[in-house]
Amino acid sequence: MAEWEPPEIFYAKLPAFHAAAAVLITDPTGRVLLVKPNYRDHWALPGGYVEADEFPHDAARREISEELGLDVTIGALLLVDWAPAAGARPRAMVNLVFDGGELEAAEHAIRLRTEELDSYAFVSPAEAARLLPAAVAQRVPAGLKARRDRAVSYLAGGRPRN
C-alpha cells in the first residue's frame, strides 16, 4: 500500500506535458486549410499552444483569430493525438483538433498574420498528407472521419488507435 503524501508532493511527481489546439477547416469541395509557419520547414493545421489557464477550445479560437483573422465557431473535438517527448521538446504533448466547419469564399476573409505565417492554402487531403510532417499527417484523415462519424478519434504518436 502506498504511503500517504501531501497533495503538493503527489502532484509535483506527476508528469507534465504541453498542450496544443488546432482547427480542421474545409472548403465546400472538401479541401483542408493548412498554414505555412515562417518558423518551421513544414505546413500545419492552423492552431497553436494552449496558454496557462486557457481552455483548449478557447486557444483554438484565439489562434485562428490571431493568425488568420477569422472568427469561426469552434465545434466538436475531433481528435486527440498524444505525442511523446521528441527532439528539443522535453515533454510529451497532447494535440487536440477541433472542428472549424466549412468556409465559403475563405480566400476573401482570411487576413494572414505575416509575423507568424508565410502562406495558407486549401489542399486536398492527399496533398495535406504530402505537406504535413509524417507524425502529423494522419490528423487530417482521422479528423475528417471523426467529423463524418461524429466520434472522437485517438491517435498515439500520429498513428490511429481506434
Q: Output the DSSP codes for 8-19.
A: HHHHHHS--EEE
Domain ranges of the chain: 16-160
The three-state secondary structure class of 133 is coil
Name, in order, each residue with C-beta under 8 angstroms of 65's C-beta and a sequence gap of 6 or more. 71
pLDDT at 92: 86
pTM of the predicted protein model = 0.91
The three-state secondary structure class of 80 is strand
pLDDT at 88: 86
Query: pLDDT below 70 — which residues of the chain?
Result: 1-2, 105-108, 162
Please state whether beta strands 159-160 and 153-156 pair in parallel, antiparallel, or not at all (unpaired).
Answer: antiparallel
pLDDT in tens, 127-137: 999 999 998 99
Sign of the dihedral defined by the CA atoms of residues 122, 125, 131, 137, in that order: positive
pLDDT in tens, 69-86: 999 999 999 999 999 888
Does domain 16-160 match CATH 3.90.79.10?
A: yes
